[in-house]
């Protein structure tokens, strides 16, 4: 589900802004340095040809602190320093600090974009409350606190994901998963059309909720039009016991 350099190359001439998200929501997949570097090369080659406005890359990394133990988050400027002038980085505490509801985000951008962005923000009618900004600044000034928190968070996410992966991979031949690399989501294909007599992802979603008490989001919510059985599962607001119980209910429903 990750975009590739080859796909971008087909459309780069008509592209003004490219938005990438890694770790990716909804799939939990991450770019490798080779994959991201190849995409950056396409952008750099196109910008070298252009006389006018360059292709800008908006890089959303709100889940970057939530990577699997064997995965390293990579950034465009890290793999291609020349991308500095063409990259806007987005981040937010609602994900990195699991501060759901605390809508505080920020961007890092090249100096050439500072003035227009400041002008834009000055005309916006909403912004984060000052106490949230002060609290976030205090937390981010304590490097050791952050490192310990992120390590603990990754361990908790990995434990929940391991239960999901282990249970789902053995549960039913019509269930397949995409190995999660980051974020709080697991991509699962519930190919249950024949088993439950469904004709759409929405019918499978309703069956999972009503029969197993498992809530999932169909990939139609993320732009995939095919009725192919792909869904997103989130472990963002559940404990280990909840994950185990939900998988037990799902297995029981499938065996009925």
What is the pTM assigned to this prediction?
Answer: 0.89
* pLDDT-wise least confident of 13-17, 96-100, 113-117, 233-237: 96-100
pLDDT for residue 172? 84
CB 249 within 8 Å of CB 214: yes
Q: Where are the alpha helices (DSSP H) in the chain?
A: 5-11, 33-49, 76-79, 93-96, 114-122, 130-140, 143-171, 193-196, 201-212, 240-254
Q: What's the confidence (pLDDT) of residue 41? A: 98
Q: Where exactly does CATH 3.40.640.10 map onto the chain? A: 5-141
For residue 79, how far is the Cα from the chain centroid? Answer: 20
Q: How do residues 230-244 score in pLDDT, each as one tens digit?
A: 999 999 888 999 999
Distance CA 67, CA 209 (A): 28
Neighbours of 133 (CB within 10 A): 15
Has residue 63 got a pLDDT over 80?
Answer: yes
For a pLDDT cut of 70, what percent of the chain falls above it? 100
Q: Write the Ramachandran bin of 60: left for phi over 0, alpha for psi from -120 to 50, otherwise beta.
A: beta
pLDDT digits (tens, 9 = 90+) for 156-203: 999 999 999 999 998 989 999 998 899 999 999 999 999 999 999 999
Residues of the chain with CATH 3.90.1150.10: 156-254
CATH 3.90.1150.10 fits 156-254, yes or no: yes
CB-based contacts of 98, cutoff 8 Å, min separation 6: 153, 236
Q: Tell me, which fold does domain 5-141 have in CATH? A: 3.40.640
- Mean pLDDT, the chain, rounded, equals 93
Alpha-carbon distance of 19 to 17, in angstroms, equals 7
């Amino acid at each position: 589900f990750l975009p590739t350099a080859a796909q971008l190359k087909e459309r780069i001439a008509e592209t003004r802004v490219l938005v990438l998200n890694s770790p990716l929501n909804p799939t939990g997949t991450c770019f490798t340095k080779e994959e991201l570097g190849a995409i950056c090369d396409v952008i750099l080659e196109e910008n070298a040809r252009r006389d006018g406005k360059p292709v800008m890359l908006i890089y959303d990394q709100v889940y970057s602190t939530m990577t699997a133990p064997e995965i390293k988050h990579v950034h465009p400027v890290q793999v291609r320093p020349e991308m500095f002038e063409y990259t806007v980085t987005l981040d937010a505490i609602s994900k990195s600090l699991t501060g759901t509801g605390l809508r505080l985000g920020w961007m890092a951008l090249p100096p050439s974009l500072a003035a227009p962005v400041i002008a834009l923000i000055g005309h916006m009618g909403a912004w984060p409350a000052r106490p949230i900004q002060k609290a976030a600044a205090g937390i981010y000034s304590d490097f050791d606190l952050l490192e310990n928190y992120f390590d603990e968070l990754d361990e908790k996410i990995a434990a929940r994901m391991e239960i999901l992966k282990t249970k789902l991979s053995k549960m039913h031949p019509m269930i397949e998963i995409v190995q999660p690399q980051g974020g709080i989501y697991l991509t699962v294909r519930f190919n249950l059309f024949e088993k439950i007599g469904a004709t759409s992802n929405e019918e499978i979603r309703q069956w999972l909720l009503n029969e197993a008490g498992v809530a999932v989001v169909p990939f139609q919510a993320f732009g995939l039009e095919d009725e192919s059985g792909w869904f997103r599962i989130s472990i963002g607001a559940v404990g280990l016991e909840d994950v185990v119980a939900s998988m037990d209910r799902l297995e029981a429903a499938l065996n009925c």
